[in-house]
A and B are shown apart, each in its own frame.
Chain A
Amino acid sequence: MSQWAKNVSIQRWTPSSRRAVMVAGVVLLVLALAPLFASNGMLDRLTALFIYVILAAMWNALAGYGGLISVGQQAFFGLGAYFTIRLANVGLDPFISVGLSAVIVGVISYPISLIMLRLKGGEFAIGMWVIASILHLMVNLDGLIQGETGISLVSLNHYDSGSRLTIIYLLTLGSMAGLLTLLFFVLRSKTGSAIQAIRDDEEAATSIGVKPEKTKRLLFVIAAFGIGAAGALWLTSATTFLPKTYFSVQWSAYMIFMVLVGGIGKFEGAILGAIIFFLVETWFSSTGVWYLVSLGAIAIAFSLFLPKGIWGELERRFNWRFLPVGYRVEDPKKEKQ
């Protein structure tokens, strides 16, 4: 026993994960320089991809780490866009409105979490859909929005179209990098260990003093803040706010697809899922209804036959570890076998 214990070491960073973080840094740097050489169309598409990555990472934080499946996260997406319109309407710069709007959404999500986190499983899932519906109907009551007719973020016109695109692109890239880093450090912190303990076994975690409610609330608010930012950024690139589109349950379907396919509960899985979704959308969204049918069918297939998603499968087969949010126990003897 003591012999065995001597050879075991606890590792956080592995050589491959060090390399992965460096590669991530290089990729971000290249993406940040993209406005110098990429076409406008390309920048626009990449902006969409970054927003998908934010959505997937946030839904994954909630479901994969908090064990909270929600089909109502469009609530915060729509709200993020709505407050951007509201703030810009009182004369604030549209891009400052984006940041402020995300903060407001995060603050609003706190009282919502007090009620909703009392619900379990399916009750929480549909309960969040009811919340999305309430917020949608309340936004429609605001005369400024003109009901389902919607309104445009007109103050964007202060910027000429070329620099506007670049600002939106860089802002979205920065938000994505910032939110992923935030999530990375939260999951690595002491709270993160608690979060992952709850994910693995809530009862056992509670028995050693982890407070599930507090950690779930933290995840809920972070997810709302991130998805609020995503909604606000989507508004800047789409310019028009149509309540029906922003508060559509389809956003939840997209988030679920990305996380299930990429790998639920895996930090890298959500990013991979977003990239896959982005490619699928680019190639197949012109098939309209069949595209949506396939998204649903693939989500079912993954949850039944490959519940850990593509990343989970790769990790298992090749023992890959890129972004270290946990600890791993290394037993040299075992490796020799």
Chain B
Amino acid sequence: MTNQIIQAILLGGYYALIACGLSFMFSVMKIINLAHGSLLVFAGYLLWFFAEHYHISPFVGLLIVIPVMMLIGWALQAFLLEKSARGGELLPILTTFGLAIVIENLLFEHFGANTRSLAPYIGDLSWESWELFSGFYVGKTSVYILIAAIVILGSLQLFMKKTALGRQIRATAHDPDTAGIVGINPKRASAIATALAMSTVAVSGLALGVRGVFDAYSGGPQLLFAFEATIIGGVGSLWGTLIGGIILAFAQTIGANIHPQGFLLGGHILFIIILLIRLILAKGGVGHRLKFALGVSK
């Protein structure tokens, strides 16, 4: 039982890590990037490529892949999102979905149907573990992933709050036209935000690869996990994403305990329950009316 709780928290760390790029772009630019999962898998393949062909450890490889992904993020914003966001809120959904289809099929074309993993390239670390207390082991990589999630979420939070650039991005998110009037370049702010999101996607690709195997079409499930963690944790709250990831992992663990095939179903059903709760608590919903009747709300 204790073991399952610890494992669920660690798995939640992974979900929070893959969610932070999606949640960041959603909260800052109001865009849900449907290519998020495929881009993550792409980063995983890049790391695998450098490890397999040039014997570069995936951790060192990150020094190459992070800038590459940031560049891709910039290009994504400049050539796809910028133009589609101007065409209304629905267009980015279509273009990023199209992009996901293109990326995953190109990956399949290039890397084939074999599943890949980064675990063979990180030496003993892939199976090393710490004994928390007698009989309870935690894998070192899972702990590192959780720490990475906390560090990245914390840095993003600090960056947005404390730096001038962070304020510019927030201003652009709030009202791009007015931001332009006061001397902010909204295009630049959005490009930087996308590049930042993509740098977290690079780290997520590493996490995906060291945790297990992936193939060209692994992006879809990763997108769903990231999306669910974001929604469960509450859109716009980066720390909420961490909580959301952990709650998602708990629901999956409970699902797996109920039925051998219940792991994924548990997470999805929790997501629907959260939506129901949102509906009840929403303005005009049952919860709101109840509060009104009790005189809690004005």
Contacts and interface: CB of A to CB of B under 8 A. Distances in A.
A259 to B, nearest CB: 9
B215 interface: no
Give the interface SS of chain B, mostly helix, strand, loop or mixed. helix
Contact of A122 (B93, B98, B106, B264): B93
B93 A253 contact: no
A300 B32 contact: no
A290 B83 CA distance: 25
Given A115-B276, A290-B109, A303 B94 contact: yes
Interface in A228-265: 249, 252-253, 256, 260
Contact of A126 (B31, B34, B282): B34
Contacts of A293: 101-102, 105-106, 109
Contacts of B224: 126, 129-130, 133
Contact of B271 (A130, A140, A297): A130
B126 interface: no
B162 interface: no
A254 to B, nearest CB: 10
Contacts of A290: 105, 109
B231 interface: yes
B259 A141 contact: yes
Interface string B222-244: 01100110010000000000000
Interface stretch (B64-72, B84-92, B131-139, B288-296): B84-92
B144 interface: no
A118 B94 contact: no
B98 A125 contact: no
Contacts of A307: 87, 91
Contact of B87 (A71, A141, A303): A303
A304 B278 contact: no
Contacts of A304: 80, 83-84, 87, 91, 95
Contact of A256 (B83, B98, B109, B228): B98
B101 A253 contact: yes
Given A133-B264, A137-B264, A249-B220, A122 B32 contact: yes
Contacts of B31: 122
A215 B269 CA distance: 27
A127 to B, nearest CB: 7
**Most chain B beta-carbon neighbours within 10 Å: one of A133, A141, A256:** A133
Nearest to B83: A304
Contacts of A71: 34, 93, 97
B275 A115 contact: yes
Interface in B91-139: 91-95, 97-102, 105-106, 108-109
A100 interface: no
A300 B93 contact: no
Contacts of B282: 118
Interface in A107-149: 115-116, 118-119, 121-123, 125-127, 129-131, 133-134, 137-138, 140-141
A271 B81 CA distance: 29
Nearest to A137: B265
A125 B278 CA distance: 18
A289 B272 CA distance: 34
Contact of B275 (A63, A127, A138): A127
**Most chain B beta-carbon neighbours within 10 Å: one of A118, A122, A292:** A122
Given A137-B265, A289-B108, A293-B105, A300 B80 contact: yes
A222 interface: no
Given A134-B272, A140-B261, A303-B91, A296 B105 contact: yes
Given A121-B93, A130-B271, A296-B99, A115 B32 contact: no
A134 B94 contact: no
A266 to B, nearest CB: 16
Contacts of A57: none
A85 interface: no
B50 interface: no
Nearest to A299: B98
A223 to B, nearest CB: 16
B60 interface: no
Interface in A45-77: 63, 67, 69, 71
A42 to B, nearest CB: 30
Interface in B185-236: 220, 223-224, 227-228, 231
A198 interface: no
A134 B265 contact: yes
B51 to A, nearest CB: 24
Contacts of B106: 289, 293
Given A123-B32, A125-B34, A296 B90 contact: no
A295 interface: yes
A249 B91 CA distance: 19
B272 A122 contact: no
A129 to B, nearest CB: 6
A303 B276 CA distance: 33
Contacts of B276: 115
Interface of A: 63, 67, 69, 71, 115-116, 118-119, 121-123, 125-127, 129-131, 133-134, 137-138, 140-141, 249, 252-253, 256, 260, 289-290, 292-293, 295-297, 299-300, 303-304, 307
Given A67-B90, A121-B32, A133-B268, 8 more contacts: A115-B279, A119-B275, A122-B89, A126-B223, A130-B271, A137-B265, A293-B109, A307-B91
22 contacts: A71-B34, A115-B275, A122-B32, A130-B227, A130-B271, A133-B224, A134-B269, A137-B264, A253-B101, A256-B97, A289-B105, A292-B105, A293-B106, A297-B102, A299-B94, A300-B80, A300-B98, A300-B99, A304-B84, A304-B91, A304-B95, A307-B91
Across the A-B interface, the 3 shortest Cβ-Cβ residue pairs: A122-B32, A296-B101, A296-B102
